[in-house]
Structure 1
Amino acid sequence: MTDRPVQGLRERKKAKTRALIQKEALRLFREQGYTATTVEQIAEAAEVAPSTVFRYFPSKEDLVLVEAYPTFLDALREVPQEMGPIAAVRAAALAMLEGRSPEEVADGVEREKLMLSVPELWAASLENVGRTLRTLQETLAERTGRDVDDPEVRNVTGAITGVVVAVWLEWSKDSSMDVPAELDRALAHLEAGLPL
Structure 2
Amino acid sequence: MATESVSLRERQRRQVRAEIQRAAFELFARNGFDAVTTEQIAAAAQISPSTYFRHVRSKEDLLLDPVREGGAGIAALLEERPVGEAADVALAQAILTRSAALAPAELAHWRAAFRSAPHLLDRVALVPPEHRARLIELVAQRMPGDPAGDSRSGLLVHLMLAAAEFGYLQWLRSADNTAASLPVCIEAALAAVLDRRWRAQG
Taking a change above 3 Å as real, the CA distance of residues 135 and 143 of structure 1, as seen in their structure-2 partners, is same
Picking from 139, 143, 148, the partner of 2:135 is 139
AA at the equivalent of 1:132: P
Structure 1 residues 14-49: Cα deviation after superposition (integer angstroms, max 9, x where no partner): 211110001101111111111111101101111111
For 1:35, what is the secondary structure of its paired residue?
A: coil
For 1:188 and 1:155, locate their aligned partners in 2 and report how far apart those are by CA, in whole Å. Answer: 16
Picking from 86, 89, 92, the partner of 2:88 is 86
Structure 1 residues 50-76: Cα deviation after superposition (integer angstroms, max 9, x where no partner): 121111111221111122222222212
Matched residue, 2:144: none
For 1:29 and 1:141, locate their aligned partners in 2 and report how far apart those are by CA, in whole Å. Answer: 39
Aligned length: 183
Picking from 184, 190, 197, the partner of 1:181 is 184
Q: In percent, how many aligned pairs have the same letter?
A: 26
1:77 matched to 2:73: no
Higher relative CO (Cα under 8 Å, sequence separation at least 6) belongs to 2
Contact 2:71/2:98 (CA < 8 Å) preserved in 1?
A: no
Structure 2, unaligned runs of 5 or more: 142-146, 198-202
Contact 1:137/1:157 (CA < 8 Å) preserved in 2?
A: no
Runs of 4+ with deviation above 4 angstroms = none
For 1:51 and 1:77, locate their aligned partners in 2 and report how far apart those are by CA, in whole Å. Answer: 39
Matched residue, 1:98: 100
104-113 vs 36-45, greater mean Cα deviation: 104-113
Structure 1, unaligned runs of 5 or more: none
Alignment of 1:1-196 (within 5 A): 8-66=7-65, 67=68, 68-110=70-112, 112-114=114-116, 117=118, 119=119, 121-122=120-121, 125-126=123-124, 128-129=125-126, 132=128, 135-145=131-141, 146-147=147-148, 150-174=150-174, 175=177, 176-192=179-195
182-191 vs 35-44, greater mean Cα deviation: 182-191
For 2:121 and 2:60, locate their aligned partners in 1 and report how far apart those are by CA, in whole Å. Answer: 10
Structure 1 residues 138-171: Cα deviation after superposition (integer angstroms, max 9, x where no partner): 3222342424x95322321221122112222221
For 2:104 and 2:6, locate their aligned partners in 1 and report how far apart those are by CA, in whole Å. Answer: 24
Structure 1 residues 74-104: Cα deviation after superposition (integer angstroms, max 9, x where no partner): 2122112332332112211222233321232
Structure 1 residues 86-142: Cα deviation after superposition (integer angstroms, max 9, x where no partner): 211221122223332123222342355355x1x3x346x25x45x535523432223
Taking a change above 3 Å as real, the CA distance of residues 6 and 192 of structure 1, as seen in their structure-2 partners, is farther
Contact 1:24/1:45 (CA < 8 Å) preserved in 2?
A: yes
Alpha-carbon shift at residue 13 of structure 1 (Å): 1.8
For 2:73, what is the secondary structure of its paired residue?
A: helix
